Amino acid sequence: MNRIAQLSPAVVNKIAAGEVIERPASVVKELLENAIDAGATRIDAAVEKGGLEAIRVADDGRGIPREELPLAVASHATSKIRSADDLFRVGTLGFRGEALASIAAVSRFSIRSRRAEEDGGAQLEVVGGAAGEIIPVGCPAGTTVEVRNLFFNTPVRRKFLRTTQTEMSHVSEAFTRIALAYPAVHLVLRHQGRTLHDLPPTQELRERIARFFGADLADDLIPVSSGDGDARISGYVANPSQSRSNNRLQYLLLNGRAIRDRSLQHALSEAYRGLLLTGRYPICFLRLELSSELVDVNVHPTKHEVRFQDSGRLYSQLLGMLRMKFLSTDLTARASIPGDASGPAIESTGAAASRSRLVDWAKDELATRQQRLVDQSPSVAGPTATDRPGPLTLNRLDALDCGAAPASGNATQEASSHPSGPSFATEQAPAPPPTADRTDAAHAALPRALQIHNRYLVVETGEGMEVIDQHALHERILYEQLRDRALQGSVESQRLLVPEPVDLSATEAAAVLEQRELLGKLGVEVEPFGGETILVLAYPAMLSAASPGEVLRELVEQLVCDSPPPNRRDLFDDLLHMLACKAAVKYGDPLRKEEIEALLAQRHLAIDPHHCPHGRPTALVLTCEDLDRQFKRI
Ligand code: ADP
Ligand code: MG
């Protein structure tokens, strides 16, 4: 056992660096915050290789006196607080006095600064925590910090870093947060010499939002504000026609600091309850201005989380404000039909079009799949077996064409009433049936089926009944179909007469271009159009009901989500899921008899018809025995 000994400052700083500096983006965040605290009106950030190679942040702030440079890079040295009491009235972004020390401990670091009133500036270099001499330099008023080879002396940490693109997207996010919190500061971000953002100062938060997330979103924002004195909330929330599949676009800027707060995020979801589909998240850009004694920012080393003295009050204030606003705003029309006031007419033609496509698709698909099954199954090559698929396939298609008359009942709701023989039971076998069986199953007569509440199909089976989730089933079938086609490079793509420009954020645009080839496999053709605009040239035919921009945006969300899939294959799979989900009939779509039949007919051809691509079941089975038992007959 060693004796207890005080750790050297170098070790202390490396430990602190572990907490504060996780990746290049953490460095960018700390340096931007220091520049803001120094009263800068313009900040230039330049990054090489996602910050893995170099990060330089230059500001025109008040500068650091020459003799204080060593203190600036020493740990627990700050100009921002003096006593513990000051912790309860922090008015700056920094106060812990450990960022520069931490960064300098794990990189080749240099800081150069000049105060406006001084003639010359001074520079100090620190390599892996070892400071050099202060040397006089000529430089503009302000401070420039350069950080090279981050984690060069902590190889383990370096190993955790991801690709340039991933690191850059984190850098971009850190930059975005500061830029949204400080619209009045001129901010520039460059990557490998390319300007990603050059944001002139503005009084209007909305302008910055448009820069980062496109004019479409900025136009769909609803201004909100509430409170006064020691607790004010103001900013924008998006019309429910705009939402995301994750909560990344929920910006909460507390006294100039972007934070995450579960309770406030919950209030936001509550306010949008019923306005968004499940799995969709609201978008917000909200400034919270709170007296500094009402919040403790000293709970997290990176200060992404804070503790409110009265979080319940803030929760109610936010929820109340949004509810009031939504009551006085007409949201519904836009929520269902984005961008069009003429309403239901468009909606219903859209739905009808998408449905007739369902039937067409089913016909095509049945024909090709059945053909493939015949081609691929030497085991059923006997004279009877090969003869069977042909005529029966035709029968099925005939049924789809003319909607073979049901024996009785509501023609729009009840599917054809062929008696369901015991052969149908094969389809319920949990394991995917062998090819020959699937061919057989596809020949089985269609069961009786009824759509209820525009959501579920209730089907009579040999053993009882099944309740099928129409969306989940369709999604599964489309997913398998799309996957097969994408792997063969034969996704049917629809070329646009006029390519559609889509405004994205810099990170998003970069991600799209990086995955251009992968997107091409899915039938999405894109091209850079200058700045952050991407041109969509073609997109999958099965999604023709959606706009190309909408499709691209949803794909982008998969490309830049917080935890990107570990490899290309998983990413590809995520994109397939997304497209299948988007193209499938929705929970709530009324289906005609032929459409129900088309869907059920396809079911036997899927390899795993029992689960949607997300793994949720597509159907519940109730046997007659289950029912008998429930009714106390047995
Ligand atoms: P903190 O920001 O918590 O005080 P830092 O390690 O980030 O700690 O910075 C230490 C000190 O260095 C700051 O308190 C500030 O006085 C000075 N400093 C750092 N960056 C700048 C800058 N860009 N302009 C002026 N002063 C700076
Ligand atoms: Mg700081």
pLDDT digits (tens, 9 = 90+) for 318-354: 999 998 888 877 664 333 333 333 333 333 334 444 4
SS3 525: strand
Taking residues 535-542, what's their average pLDDT? 89
Alpha-carbon gap, residue 576 to 522, rounded angstroms: 8
Name 90's Cβ contacts closer than 8 Å, sequence gap at least 6.
80, 81, 292, 297, 298
| Whether residue 564 has its Cβ less than 6 Å from ligand 1 | no
Task: Reduce the secondary structure of 594-628 to three states and give it as a string.
Answer: HHHHHHHHHHCCCCCCCECCCCCECEEEEEHHHHH
Report how far ligand 1's centroid is from the alpha carbon of 336 (Å).
50
Which of 12, 30, 37, 112 best tests ligand 1's pocket when mutated (most atoms within 8 Å of CB)? 37
Element spanning 542, H or E: none
In this structure, the strands spanning 142-148 and 54-59 are antiparallel
Ligand nearest to the CA of 95: 1
Q: What percent of the chain has pLDDT over 70?
A: 81
Name the DSSP class of 252. E
Alpha-carbon gap, residue 296 to 308, rounded angstroms: 6
- Per the listing, tokens 């240099």 go with 110
Q: Tell me the chain's radius of gyration from C-alpha atoms.
A: 30
Q: What is the value of pTM for the model shown?
A: 0.61
Q: Residue 508 has which token pair?
A: 């998003």
Closest ligand 1 atom to 63 CA: 25
Closest ligand 1 atom to 142 CA: 24
Tell me: the pLDDT tens digits for 439-480? 344 445 667 889 999 999 999 888 888 899 999 999 988 888
pLDDT of residue 563: 64
| Whether residue 142 has its Cβ less than 6 Å from ligand 1 | no
Which residue, judged by its Cα, is nearest atom 1 of ligand 1? 97
User: Sheet holding 493-503: strands in order across?
Assistant: 493-503, 533-540, 525-528
Which residue, judged by its Cα, is nearest atom 7 of ligand 1? 99
CB 34 within 8 A of CB 64: no
Taking residues 401-409, what's their average pLDDT? 32
SS3 45: strand
Which residue, judged by its Cα, is nearest atom 17 of ligand 1? 72
CB 512 within 8 A of CB 552: yes
pLDDT of residue 335: 34
Alpha-carbon gap, residue 633 to 381, rounded angstroms: 46
Q: Which among 413, 414, 444 is positioned nearest to 427, based on CA atoms?
A: 444
pLDDT of residue 566: 59
Tell me: the pLDDT tens digits for 210-260? 999 988 899 999 999 998 778 999 999 999 888 888 888 999 999 999 999
CB 243 within 8 A of CB 550: no
Judging by beta carbons within 10 Å of its beta carbon (0-12, 13-18, 19+), is residue 71 exposed, middle or buried?
middle
| Whether residue 20 has its Cβ less than 6 Å from ligand 1 | no
Name 59's Cβ contacts closer than 8 Å, sequence gap at least 6.
34, 35, 38, 40, 42, 43, 44, 142, 143, 144
| Whether residue 56 has its Cβ less than 6 Å from ligand 1 | no
Lowest mean pLDDT among 74-78, 256-260, 274-278, 372-376: 372-376
Name 231's Cβ contacts closer than 8 Å, sequence gap at least 6.
288, 289, 290, 291, 294, 313, 314, 317
Report how far ligand 2's centroid is from the alpha carbon of 78 (Å).
8
CA–CA–CA angle 562, 563, 568 (5° rounding) = 125
